[in-house]
Structure 1
Amino acid sequence: MKRKLVSTSRIISVGWLDGILEIEMKDGSLYRFFDVSYREYQTFINSKSPRYALTFLENDFLYEKI
């Protein structure tokens, strides 16, 4: 999956493909969120507070740490 670089204190890159959202953290960990719509991905990418948006994802979507 191709990911876009982002500029936050915790996140390096974010990618989306076929309902799967991947978030690469600065500590090297990678999270994969399932059943995320493209619209929700766009909302996350354009969020003024990615940390808050990440909390929303963690609370509302099934995910795994890779």
Structure 2
Amino acid sequence: MHESTWQRSSFCGGGGNNCIEVAVNGSRIAIRESSEPSAVLTTDRTALRAFVLGVKNGRFDPLLDR
């Protein structure tokens, strides 16, 4: 992922090391935590879209309340 341009959410705030970052690498989407930049997860656009829709619909909210 050395040639990718990583993007952070506008909700990240202050550019600290507590952010999720994403980058496009060909047909794959890469995801990493800013505090652990060498640990990169890759997925495709379809799977990422399903995840983002689930987040928007509150599907994962119970995980945050633990």
TM-score (norm 2): 0.39
